[in-house]
Chain A
Amino acid sequence: MINRILNKKEDPGRTEQASFARKRFRFSDWFAERFIKVVAFMSIAFVALIFIFVFREAFPVFRMDVVQNVTTEKLVPESYGEEPENGDNSKTTGKEIREARPEMKVVKPSSTLLSRDWMPVSDNPRYGIIPLFLGTLKVTIIALLFAAPIAILAAIYTSMFAKPRIREVIKPIIELLAGFPSVVIGFFALMVLATVFQDIFGYASRLNAFVGGFAMSLAAIPVIYTITEDALTAVPKTYIEASLGLGASRRQTAFHVVLPAAAPGIFAAVILGLGRIFGETMIALMATGNAALLSINPFESVRTLSATIGAEMAEVVFGDTHYSVLFLIGSLLFIFTFILNAVSELYFKNLVVRKYQSKK
């Protein structure tokens, strides 16, 4: 802001003396400016460091060759990375396994990444992230199906239909929901929602994707609500007046004029809400049941990507394969939210600005 004032002085009309006074060198000013700039630069450095250090710990997954004690029941011709099926097989042929001699085998952990089992602590570890990914997707969709309509409708009410005095009350109340720690929402879901929903729907597993998804929508609602409300309020008053003047009702104005005009902002809001849900850890840990099942039933337990990191990182050995795989999952989460943020920042924001500028 001071720039603007100082720049004004540089207009051609200035006197010699004024410019001389401004340009006199002062060490404290010079130092302060440099120092502040360096500190501000640190924010960029932090993001870069997060990138580097999360990826650095994840990278070894792709180079690791782990020599394992793999017990195979018979000498099957092996191809690298293709382990015998355990699970049912190992149960029925348990005796044979004990008789068979252990065998050293080179296993590439990265080759199991796309398998369908997440069994990181078994004798024959597999790091298939497919079930985790599907679980995250399932919870995210459920949460978004709750959060987006509720938050957008509430924002429409606040900006279009509510009386100014009521609006002043509603906004801070809904914003207070953003201040609820996610561990508290998780606790509420675990203790209350899980029981209530089980009574209503009568499904088998108490903690499941549905409960988790609903609880996460509570975390996403304030995010979507606030940004949508801003986008709706930013629509020029002239639009609304023109529409009302033509005889449209407030409802018609809200849904056919204001909503389309604010659409890019609302997309940005939903995308940020999506990012919030996707990375949510504590609610996922506490309310989704944490079983890595491969199923599309919303009433079964799921294990999300972030919950996997949260639950398992404390127990792994530093620098282990499992440790690196968890960092790899973290890298995926990071890349995903980074892209979401970049899209909402660069694309939708520009769209909103351009739209109103061209119409003015």
Chain B
Amino acid sequence: MMNRNRKDTIIESLTGISVLLIIFIIVSILAITIKGGWPNLNWQFITEFPRDGMTKGGIFPAIVGTALMTLIMTIAAVPFGVITAVYLAEYAKEDSVFAKTIRFAVKTLAVVPSIIFGLFGLGFFIGFIGQNMDKIFNGGVLKWGQPSILWASLTMALLTLPVVIVSVEEAIRTIPVEMREASLALGATKWQTIKRVVLPGSVTGIMTGTILAISRGAGEVAPILFTGAAYYLADLPHSLSDQFMSLGYHIYIMSTQSANVDATLPIQFATTLVLLLLTFSLNAVAVVLRYRIRKKAK
């Protein structure tokens, strides 16, 4: 009996240690980034352009680039995601082949490696759509058939589509059946019920999905490596066909390919801190919102 108790204690504490280990890693990533980045994080850093061959100055264009990219991405991904979620939750019959295939496709989009989206963006948006657009509208002058903020954003929209769909569908399903019944009993049609009852009731879910998508899109680098991100630009992007600087890409390029990695170390840490703070706070908001949706469902 004694022996069994000791074995129990050992194994139970082993599982506890695993949890502590994960939390320890999370805390140390945060602590080290804050320690390395905080001293250099000030107003100039956020509002200035890089100077002196990128060894001094700020990351203003990277922040603006990331913001613009996620904005275009949101405009493309959220309506698509919401409509697909409405279909899955309200129109699709659970066991129809069509609905099952859509679910499988969404799941596939969620697990395909992000670098594949980059390849797709290059092959489809730039190589196929962009170059054909140039041929038809631009008389063969290269404008759309090259990496740009539009193609990067659309590539990223595809990557974040499953995030939106899953959150919105979950929220739609928490709306009580009685609400729909009441609406239908008053003579509203199915579409009117969705428009006036279901969608307003799932606003929190749509917000959660949007926030999660933005956080994911702001942090991903692989899909924009060759669809629009640039190492250094002296100017902010002015049109959809311009390239852009992005926070994540900036970290990658500064820490691996910069001429003097040690000199730019404070900048790297501070940029990482900015990106981490951004995604971290977005995620925290999403966790709180989702918690409230789940609580309401119970």
Category for how many chain B residues contact A: 35 or more
What distance in Å separates the Cβ of A265 from its nearest Cβ neighbour in chain B?
15
Q: Which of A1-9, A101-109, A234-242 contacts B (4 or more CB under 8 A)?
A: A1-9
Q: Are B83 and A21 in contact (CB under 8 A)?
A: no
Interface string of B5-41 (1 = CB under 8 A from A): 1011001101111110111011011001100100000
What distance in Å separates the Cβ of A150 from its nearest Cβ neighbour in chain B?
5
Q: With A161-B12, A176-B280, A187-B272 as known contacts, state yes or no: A281 contacts B115, CB within 8 Å.
A: yes
Interface string of B190-211 (1 = CB under 8 A from A): 1111100000000000000000
Q: Are A187 and B191 in contact (CB under 8 A)?
A: no
B275 at the interface (CB under 8 A from A): yes
What distance in Å separates the Cβ of B227 from its nearest Cβ neighbour in chain A?
10
Q: Which of B50-58, B116-124, B233-241 contacts A (4 or more CB under 8 A)?
A: B116-124
Which of A42, A49, A334 interacts with B80 by CB under 8 Å?
A: A42
Interface residues of B in 120-155 (CB under 8 A from A): 120, 122-124, 127-128
Interface string of A284-303 (1 = CB under 8 A from B): 01100000000000000000
Q: With A36-B83, A57-B127, A337-B111 as known contacts, state yes or no: A5 contacts B116, CB within 8 Å.
A: no
9 contacts between A and B (CB under 8 A): A26-B191, A39-B84, A40-B87, A57-B119, A150-B18, A157-B12, A306-B113, A310-B222, A313-B122
Chain B, interface SS category: helix
Q: Which of A69-77, A120-128, A338-346 contacts B (4 or more CB under 8 A)?
A: A338-346
A44 at the interface (CB under 8 A from B): yes
Q: With A36-B87, A279-B116, A345-B107 as known contacts, state yes or no: A157 contacts B219, CB within 8 Å.
A: no
What distance in Å separates the Cβ of A322 from its nearest Cβ neighbour in chain B?
13
Residue of B nearest to A8 (CB): B181
Residue of A nearest to B220 (CB): A181
Known contacts A2-B184, A53-B128, A337-B113; 12 additional CB pairs below 8 A are A29-B189, A33-B190, A44-B105, A46-B109, A150-B21, A156-B15, A176-B283, A181-B221, A191-B36, A279-B115, A281-B113, A345-B104
Interface string of A158-196 (1 = CB under 8 A from B): 101110000000101111110111111111101110000
Q: Are B184 and A5 in contact (CB under 8 A)?
A: yes
Q: A338 to chain B: which residues have CB within 8 Å?
A: 108, 112
What distance in Å separates the Cβ of A151 from its nearest Cβ neighbour in chain B?
8
| Chain A contact residue count (CB 8 A cutoff) | 95
What separation, in Å, do the CA atoms of A50 and B158 have in the docked complex?
10
A37 at the interface (CB under 8 A from B): yes
Residue of B nearest to A308 (CB): B115
Q: Are B14 and A33 in contact (CB under 8 A)?
A: no
Which of B22, B92, B226, B249 interacts with A177 by CB under 8 Å?
A: B22
Q: A4, A35, A251: which has the most chain B beta carbons within 10 Å?
A: A251
What distance in Å separates the Cβ of B172 from its nearest Cβ neighbour in chain A?
8
Interface string of B83-106 (1 = CB under 8 A from A): 110111111110000100110111
Q: With A180-B29, A191-B255 as known contacts, state yes or no: A318 contacts B111, CB within 8 Å.
A: no
Which of A149, A175, A182, A341 interacts with B219 by CB under 8 Å?
A: A182
What separation, in Å, do the CA atoms of A44 and B92 have in the docked complex?
15
What distance in Å separates the Cβ of A246 from its nearest Cβ neighbour in chain B?
14
Residue of B nearest to A255 (CB): B11
Residue of B nearest to A176 (CB): B283
What separation, in Å, do the CA atoms of A174 and B225 have in the docked complex?
28
Interface residues of B in 233-257 (CB under 8 A from A): 248-249, 251-252, 255-256
Interface string of B50-90 (1 = CB under 8 A from A): 00000000000000000000000000000010011011111
What separation, in Å, do the CA atoms of A249 and B92 have in the docked complex?
45
Q: Are B189 and A26 in contact (CB under 8 A)?
A: yes
What separation, in Å, do the CA atoms of A96 and B279 have in the docked complex?
59
Q: A249 to chain B: which residues have CB within 8 Å?
A: 4-5, 8
A209 at the interface (CB under 8 A from B): no
Q: Are B112 and A330 in contact (CB under 8 A)?
A: no
B276 at the interface (CB under 8 A from A): yes
Which of A1, A47, A153 interacts with B177 by CB under 8 Å?
A: A1
